[in-house]
Amino acid sequence: MSPATPEKRTALFPGTFDPFTIGHESLVRRGLSVMDEVIIAIGVNESKKSYFSLEKRLEMIRKLYSDEPRVRVESYDSLTIDFAKKMGARYILRGIRSVFDFEYEKTIADMNRTISGIETFVLFTEPALTHISSTQVRELLRYGCDVSSFLPEGMELQ
């Protein structure tokens, strides 16, 4: 009897990533320690006013991970669970900075599991990064502040 071939463990990491921060980068790095592949999935959310165009976000993140074959960067305009199924992802990766994030993420994870059977796994943000959010970084950008300390090394915003 031959040993079973383990199924590829793929996680979808959904978000708007406007912009992609060192907090996001940390979650991808740590997600890869338990997954075979992480798909960074940029959701199109018409109700959010983006700072960077979808094309620019795709370009910046793809460039950042150009040497990492276990990371893909895609965009989608559908339910996250439908896109996860389309991509063959059985898991959703999420990060939590605070108890407020936990309540929100738990509700969504429970709904996603009920509807699709897709499991969500949560990584707690590294303590040194809990204060970083894309929303705050966008606000700083709007006022011309240097945000380089909040972005992954080598990420170019221009």
* Domain edges within the chain: 10-148
Active-site residue, from 8, 9, 48, 63: 48
pLDDT at 3: 55
Q: Is residue 61 within 8 Å of 40, Cβ to Cβ?
A: yes
Active site residue 24: yes
Active-site residue, from 72, 85, 97, 113: 97
pLDDT at 156: 81
Active site residue 134: yes
Active-site residue, from 24, 57, 90, 94: 24
Answer whether 0.85 is exceeded by the pTM. yes
Question: Which residues sit opposite 95 in a β-bridge?
Answer: 123
Active-site residue, from 26, 57, 94, 134: 134
Active site residue 53: no
pLDDT tens digits for the chain (158 residues)?
Answer: 555 556 899 999 999 999 999 999 999 999 999 999 999 999 997 777 899 999 999 999 999 999 999 999 999 999 999 999 999 999 999 999 988 889 999 999 999 999 999 999 999 999 999 999 999 999 999 999 999 999 999 888 87
pLDDT at 49: 82
| Cα 117 from Cα 19, distance rounded (Å) | 30
61 dihedral zone (left: phi>0; alpha: psi -120 to 50; beta) = alpha
CATH topology of domain 10-148: Rossmann fold (3.40.50)
